[in-house]
Amino acid sequence: MKIFTVNFRVRSYECDSYGHVNNATYLNYLEFARMSALFEKGFSLDSMKKNGYLVVIRRIEIDYKFPLYMNDEVFIKTFASEARKTSGTFTQQIFRAENNQLAAEARVTWVFIDQGGQPISIPAEIQEAFEIGSP
């Protein structure tokens, strides 16, 4: 199981009237982390389209444990935690770097689809890149 990590600092405009990072922004962070993992492995939206498939998100569960604040250093761990025939689950953990505190944890269920929107088997190149066990 390959674990991908991405680091960044919380930006001012990501915080809301509560003074902490807005709940929706966590999903931006999670997308950023997943896309960084794909990028690290040489995948892009364009390369996937060219190979005849796309990945879409079917379900997200996220638990908010501790708030994040402006200028906090953050890292996110992303790894494939489950795989079925045409879909799978990434677990993503958002940490506050200063104290390695788990700020939020998410389970993201995705499915690979073809150009017509039909679910397909997880492409072999994706299985390999993310070290996804055969379904």
Q: Does residue number 53 form part of the binding site for its own copies (CB under 8 A)?
A: no
Q: How far is CA 22 from CA 16, 45, 68, in A?
A: 6, 27, 9
Q: Which two tokens stand for residue 66?
A: 């501790």
Q: Report whether 34 contacts 108 (CB < 8 A).
A: yes
Binding segment (CB under 8 A) for its own copies, from list 10-18, 77-85, 94-102, 124-132: 10-18
Q: Per CB under 8 A, does 25 bind its own copies?
A: yes
Binding residue (CB under 8 A) for its own copies from 1, 51, 63, 102:
63
Question: Least Å distance between CB 113 and its own copies?
Answer: 11
Q: Considering the rule CB under 8 A, would residue 114 count as an interface residue with its own copies?
A: no
- Per DSSP, the three-state class of 25 is helix
73 binds its own copies (CB under 8 A): no
Torsion of CA 114, 124, 45, 15, to 10 degrees: 110
Select 12 or 134, whichever has its Cβ closest to its own copies.
12
The answer to whether 60 contacts its own copies (rule: CB under 8 A) is yes
Structure tokens at 81: 């935690």
Residue 35 interacts with its own copies (CB under 8 A): yes or no: yes
Quick one: three-class SS letters along 78-106? EEEEEECCCEEEEEEEEEECCCCEEEEEE
By CB under 8 A, residue 83 contacts its own copies: no
Contact residues for its own copies (CB under 8 A)? 8-9, 11-13, 15-19, 22-25, 27-28, 31-32, 35-36, 39, 44-45, 54, 56-64, 70-71
